[in-house]
Amino acid sequence: MNLKYPVAITQDENGAFCVEVPDLEGCFTFGDTLEEALVHARDAIAVWLMEFLEEGKAYPRPGTHDTPYAVEPSPYVLVPWLLRERREALGLTQTEAAKALGVTYQTYQRFENPLKGNLTLRTLSKLLAFLGLDIVMIPTDGKKAA
């Protein structure tokens, strides 16, 4: 499941890198360097999606724009989205998932809501194991751990 949004990047007359997310109307940011602009894009996408969710709408899926860069939302938005996607793929309702995990329906709802959820690592590990998922940590600097 691809949850990376294609982004269009241009450089303005002052040298700043401007980022626009074509699939998310009005979602844009910038940075002094390309790397900084891409980091800011991750947060801008997350904020845009949280505001969209607050209005009671479902997340818009990333499109297939022909751009050299694609950016995922920040983890605090991405993780709840992935949890919901996986639960739905398994054919489970939130009520069924809550019962299987031994938590209330309201507690489970918060797991899938970036506006209300605040999963501890322990709870996240239990939830991911139930959904048949695992955490993989990848260095962001491109270097392998010793």
Reduced to 3 states (helix: H, G, I; strand: E, B; else coil), residue 82 is helix
**Whole-prediction pTM:** 0.73
Cα distance between the two ends of the chain = 30
Instruction: Give the C-alpha separation, 22 to 6, whole Å.
Output: 7
pLDDT over 90 for what percent of the chain? Answer: 42
- pLDDT for 134: 78
Q: Identify the residue with better confidence: 17 or 127.
A: 17
The CATH number given to whatever domain includes residue 80 is 1.10.260.40
Instruction: Give the C-alpha separation, 65 to 89, whole Å.
Output: 26
Query: Does some domain include residue 49?
Result: yes
pLDDT over 70 for what percent of the chain? Answer: 94
DSSP conformational letter for 108: H
The CATH number given to whatever domain includes residue 14 is 3.30.160.250
- The mean pLDDT value for 26-43 works out to 94
Among the three residues 48, 71, 94, which one is the final residue of a domain in this structure?
71
Query: Does some domain include residue 81?
Result: yes
- pLDDT for 30: 95
How many domains in the chain?
2
The pLDDT tens digits for 75-119 are: 888 888 888 888 888 999 999 999 998 999 999 998 888 888 777
